[in-house]
Chain A
């Protein structure tokens, strides 16, 4: 725990830290005119830093357009970062900066960093059967061929709860939940250390959502996986994650352990997010915290604190003029707000335990 006292930038430098992202930036240029002159930048990810320990699930939450998916994709270098470092404790390569690797080494590193995508309907090639889909990464990385490949795919299918006989079927024959299992099998094939889960359950029905969440938890235990869990559903995030980072307009505005963040948030945006979730109990009807206005435009972010135009606690001076830093307010709990110490923000109401109090 003594490591927690360090700032978020200096993660504890021992084997326990698997991922360390430092000052990550991804700017997309806005081009205009005949010569595609660059007239500005969309700062999708603007100076994001965090670390993940081995075996941990780190949540990345925020509204659409806040840059959480771009962060995940940039880590895999599916999009190249504008600047920043991503230190990864690779099993084969040792501790490397993935953001600076050349193509050959990147291929090796990617074996250990895999991704699960949001939409199981568009992320699987409809012209490939399960053997091809799940076997593709194994084939590319020269892990298995021929009979050995079939065996491995059959094994992966049973690990994710599908029948090995389905190997010759195509994705259209499967439901959304089953397709998501296929996506998970594909990610598991290379025995990765880190899996970036980009909204893995948001396209699924509630009953199926629970199955997939349970599966991800089981796999984590079984294989000692580390997850970066990108999601917008706060109840799912609370249930799955050990630590959480909240993003707003390309910035991390708060990071803490799940209990801390949900119990005693330190940033007004986190409070608003938590207060906006409709609680599934008619006896606990709450008035949601309604934020005025819209999410700021990352091409033209507001001055000062990016959240000030919507913040109910804005002082109209310091908040408008001075950009707050992400500071450690309590041990291991960082927030980007000038008044984090002074505000008394509300966390999640602690509901009665009885989920179904049948009489």
Chain B
């Protein structure tokens, strides 16, 4: 099974070439097209919210699709918002991925959902993260371009710009600069990361785009 990513940094799309018996998982709605003998089934993702709600605000639904090929076939998939598609091998400590950004993974990757706490719920970004562990590759899509940072210390990231991070980092969710600032600064929630590890951030977020276009909307 081979994966090729085209179109980065603007419009990342992955093309999977499958042979008989190959399979992989992709987020709902991620598939663009396919040809050849391949079919898919929706499966529940493992984790805390297994049997609870189906779709969470702005995030991937709890179901992921398992694609199975019975012969030579091809599947193309991408994230629903325009940006870079990243493919990373899962590390032994695990990767945490923002819920709405997960796009696909190879078999052998264990996916569990993690609840970010009630504060995250109000951030509009979705209440959960996906923890990817095991072995294999995971694909996640950014809104915008991706900046990978090697952190050794501390970094504060606006919640909407967080894409993924290594589980070796400590993190906390807080208001940006205190209550008054949070309410009035327009910055919303931020995540404070500390320790050593990699963080992936995206250069756009939907709330920013929403704020920008709002004055142009008619009633």
A binds B: no
State the B residues within 8 Å of A (CB).
Answer: none
* A contact residues vs B (CB 8 Å cutoff): none
